[in-house]
Amino acid sequence: MRVLVAAALAVALLGASVPLRAALREAAPPELAASDLALGQLAGSALTGTFRPLLLNYLWLRTEAQYLSGRHEELHALYRTMAALYPTNEGAREFIGHRLAFTMKRDVPDPAAAWAWAEEGLDLLWGLLPGHRQARLDLALWFYLQCGENPLAALRYAGPKWEREKELRRRARAWTERRLGRGMERFEASVELLEGREGYTEALMRARILEQASYEELVRHGHAPSAAAARGALLAMAELFSDNEVIAGGYRADAALLDALAGGEPPAQVAPGVAAPVAAALWGMGMGREGPASVRLLERALELYDPADYAAERALVERWLAHRRDPSQPRPPHPFDDLAPR
């Protein structure tokens, strides 16, 4: 009776903790030894026979307990075990891949371990392509949101957060080289993963990713080759929401702001919510130009960067401003100097 009650409780808790169907317990057993799965003394029928569903229930509950207690090493081992136990169950592998790539990467303080676990999650998601839509969305979203600071307002190009992001970008570039055939930048990889995909979610993501890519191109190069595509995608979203003027107007305003920046003119009025990305774009445009035009752009960037939140960026902008006013002074570092190729 206790076994039956425990099994019923396990199923109930699973339904509350993970959005997976009961089919998760029915995946075909793999040809693996217990010693390969970090299961200690568990072997034989526990892996392949009558007790397999109970084992899987136990492992799901165990992962939730380890997650809540912050025991990352044990949680990681359990996820690896479960991925091996679900060789053909796409729902389970997508969930585990997402948890490794997003949650584990976010929660683990050590950058090297965070990437190692994120990479395992990305590889699990990649293994579900080409036909698994959610896995593709997960991958595109990871490069958009998890490969650095969440855009747009919090994007950093100086200070400790930027240094951590640069290391993450280097590793992610190697992953795209291995999986997509060429090393790609953060937002370029997101756009590539969404290529040819239709649907509301894809359209929304594509518009925002192209917008972010354009801002980064302004920072990196001083001009934005992606701006035309971003403008078209933003205006298409405005048309999609034509019956809601608040939402549609927001998309049109974003497109107009990007147009102004890509055209080389800093807008006279900048809303507080976009002050930081506009400041970054103007900083990049100022680094890409010389003479009085560069000075004006850098001065405006300095005005827009909040001293309380963007001290590191302001310090670099001030050095660039001094260099543009007096070119005999040494060239300051560019945020992308050590992120090849430029």
Q: What confidence tens digit (pLDDT) does each residue in 268-298 have?
A: 889 888 999 999 999 999 999 999 999 999 9
Q: Is the pLDDT of residue 5 over 50?
A: no
Q: Tokens standing for 325?
A: 């006013």
Going by pLDDT thresholds of 50, 70 and 90, the confidence category of residue 68 is low
Q: Is the pLDDT of residue 18 over 60?
A: no
Q: Is the pLDDT of residue 187 over 60?
A: yes
261 vs 22: which has the higher pLDDT? 261
- Cβ-proximal residues to 70 (8 Å cutoff; 6+ apart), any chain: 107
pLDDT at 110: 79
Other beta carbons less than 10 A from residue 44's beta carbon: 9
pLDDT at 200: 92
- Mean pLDDT of the 106-124 span: 86
pTM, two decimals, is 0.80
CA distance linking residue 300 with residue 288, whole number of Å: 15
41-50, 64-73, 131-140: which is most confident: 131-140
Three-class SS of residue 313? helix
CA distance linking residue 275 with residue 179, whole number of Å: 36
pLDDT at 13: 30
21-64, pLDDT tens digit by residue?
A: 344 344 433 433 334 444 444 444 445 555 556 666 656 666 66
